[in-house]
């Protein structure tokens, strides 16, 4: 029997609640499809600071290194302890560190609006066309998030200067472009590359490199779009997009915008992948939404993004395609059966019942 090791890092806010449901779903899938999962939980984020004094405790990092894949919840509680310096806070010290540590340069965020959730999309029905189905490919270890120098300087006289540096090298753009073109080949074969080539040096290089890499993929139609126009086009005509290729920060912004089109940020899973060695790709899987501290611990969070992230894990890291598809089908079945967490609930829907985190998780588990 095949056997895999997963590090489960639930983190803060709603992380533990949605992780619990995802683990339950994973166990049901393993049982049905005949493989063994060793799932080990470890603290990260504020939970890591509370347990071991660090957002990414050494034992947690060691567990990640010894695992075949990481299932991550979410970290960061902006209102907690302002005396902890920004470099030690969970966003930078845990999440960005893990991305860098494992070389997770390719972030895939698939947005899909299920037909029955048309009401949860902020756009009028006629703009939704036959359905919204977009894959955001976000570069994850470069750009402004990591570029040096990155600091705040004192200028004297009560003034400060903050500096972030946007930097990309040719190889960094090439490898993410290959990921995006390959993804487009498996979809509707259209790639929209986002940049700001009218203003930024980075944008000019991005456009040049993506165009050159595109010559290797003649079956994929490539178009370029400035990021401001891209943000607008997502609202005006989201059905024109298949794969959206973005640098790190543009991808952060546009993937939240796209998630809203998909009905809710609570539906958006993500895979962050490193280089492939042989047929194994080490991956990190997390819902794209945050810790939602306002609803944490109240059985209100939607577990779907976490559960769909677990499905991506089974597919991308373990090649357990049938089990991944079964989880995705179970999510669809639970939604089609009328289960709605608050964010996708509408009183106008016939047969919709408002459920909590646990009930949604149970409905999905039962449908495996």
Query: Does 252 interact with Mg ion (rule: CB under 5 A)?
Result: yes
Q: Minimum Å distance from CB 138 to ligand IPM?
A: 8
Query: x/- string (CB under 5 A) for Mg ion, residues 206-245?
Result: ----------------------------------------
The closest residue (CB) to ligand IPM is 91
**Among positions 7, 29, 55, 95, the unique one binding ligand IPM when judged by CB under 6 A:** 95
At a CB cut-off of 8 Å and minimum separation 6, what does 31 contact? none
Q: Minimum Å distance from CB 277 to ligand IPM?
A: 25
**Among positions 11, 57, 76, 214, the unique one binding ligand IPM when judged by CB under 6 A:** 76
Q: Minimum Å distance from CB 119 to Mg ion?
A: 25
95 binds, among ligand IPM, Mg ion, none (CB under 5 to 8 A by kind): ligand IPM
How far apart are alpha carbons 345 and 159 in whole angstroms? Answer: 48
Name 281's bridge partners.
Answer: 276
Query: x/- string (CB under 6 A) for ligand IPM, residues 260-279?
Result: --------------------
Q: Which residue has the tokens 């952060």?
A: 252
**DSSP string of 47-105, one letter each residue:** HHHHHHSSSS-HHHHHHHHTSSEEEEEE---TTS-TTS-GGGSHIIIIIIHHHHHTT--
Q: Which residue has the tokens 């677990």?
A: 310
Closest to Mg ion by CB, 197 or 268:
268
From the list 207-215, 246-254, 296-304, 335-343, the region that binds Mg ion by CB under 5 A is 246-254
Closest to Mg ion by CB, 248 or 341:
248
How far apart are alpha carbons 336 and 203 in whole angstroms? Answer: 42
Closest to ligand IPM by CB, 94 or 197:
94
Query: Does 288 interact with ligand IPM (rule: CB under 6 A)?
Result: yes
Is residue 117 within 8 A of residue 225, CB to CB? The reply is no
**Among positions 5, 68, 80, 91, the unique one binding ligand IPM when judged by CB under 6 A:** 91
User: Which of the 8 DSSP states describes residue 135?
Assistant: E
Query: Does 252 interact with ligand IPM (rule: CB under 6 A)?
Result: yes
Which H/E stretch holds residue 161? strand 159-163
135 binds, among Mg ion, ligand IPM, none (CB under 5 to 8 A by kind): none
CA-based angle 200:204:209, to the nearest 5?
A: 140
Q: Minimum Å distance from CB 267 to ligand IPM?
A: 14
Nearest Cα to Cα of residue 236 among 126, 133, 135: 126
Q: Minimum Å distance from CB 31 to ligand IPM?
A: 31
Name 280's bridge partners.
Answer: 277
Closest to ligand IPM by CB, 135 or 367:
135
At a CB cut-off of 8 Å and minimum separation 6, what does 241 contact? 134, 190, 192, 233, 234
Query: Does 257 interact with ligand IPM (rule: CB under 6 A)?
Result: no
At a CB cut-off of 8 Å and minimum separation 6, what does 196 contact? 202, 203, 226, 227, 228, 250
* SS3 (DSSP) at 145: helix
Closest to ligand IPM by CB, 76 or 356:
76
**C-alpha 150, offset from chain centre:** 25
Name 192's bridge partners.
Answer: 223, 244
Closest to ligand IPM by CB, 101 or 359:
101
| Catalytically annotated residues | 145, 196, 228, 252, 256
How far apart are alpha carbons 282 and 269 in whole angstroms? Answer: 17
Q: Minimum Å distance from CB 231 to Mg ion?
A: 14
Q: Minimum Å distance from CB 315 to ligand IPM?
A: 20
For Mg ion, the binding residues (CB under 5 A) are: 252
For ligand IPM, the binding residues (CB under 6 A) are: 76, 91, 95, 252, 288
């Amino acid at each position: 029997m095949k056997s895999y090791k997963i590090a489960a890092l639930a983190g803060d806010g709603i992380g533990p609640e949605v992780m619990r449901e995802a683990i339950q779903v994973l166990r049901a899938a393993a049982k049905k499809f005949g493989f063994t999962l060793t799932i080990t939980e470890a603290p990260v984020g504020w939970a890591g600071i509370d347990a071991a004094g660090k957002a990414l405790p050494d034992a947690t990092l060691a567990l990640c290194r010894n695992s075949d894949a990481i299932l991550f919840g979410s970290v960061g509680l902006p209102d907690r302890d302002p005396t902890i310096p920004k470099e030690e806070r969970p966003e930078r010290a845990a999440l960005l560190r893990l991305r860098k540590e494992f070389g997770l340069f390719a972030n895939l965020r698939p947005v899909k609006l299920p037909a029955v959730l048309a009401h949860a999309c902020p756009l009028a029905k006629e703009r939704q066309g036959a359905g919204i189905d977009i894959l955001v490919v976000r570069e994850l270890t470069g750009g402004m998030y990591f570029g040096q120098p990155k600091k705040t300087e004192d200028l004297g006289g009560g003034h400060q200067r903050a500096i972030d540096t946007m930097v990309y090298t040719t190889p960094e753009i090439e490898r993410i472009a290959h990921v995006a073109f390959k993804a487009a080949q498996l979809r509707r074969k259209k790639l929209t590359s986002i940049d700001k080539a009218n203003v930024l040096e980075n944008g000019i290089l991005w456009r040049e490199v993506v165009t050159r890499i595109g010559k290797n993929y003649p079956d994929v139609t490539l178009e370029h779009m400035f990021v401001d126009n891209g943000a607008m086009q997502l609202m005006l005509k989201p059905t024109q997009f298949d794969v959206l290729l973005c640098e790190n920060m543009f991808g952060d912004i546009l993937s939240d915008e796209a998630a809203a089109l998909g009905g809710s940020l609570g539906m958006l899973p993500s895979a962050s992948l490193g280089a492939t060695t042989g047929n194994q790709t080490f991956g990190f899987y997390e819902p794209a939404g945050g810790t939602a501290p306002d609803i944490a611990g109240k059985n209100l969070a939607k577990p779907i993004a976490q559960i769909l992230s677990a499905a991506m894990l089974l597919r991308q890291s373990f090649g357990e395609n049938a089990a991944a598809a079964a989880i995705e089908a179970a999510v669809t079945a639970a939604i089609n059966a009328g289960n709605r967490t608050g964010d996708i609930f509408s009183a106008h829907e016939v047969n919709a019942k408002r459920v909590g985190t646990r009930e949604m998780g149970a409905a999905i588990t039962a449908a495996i």
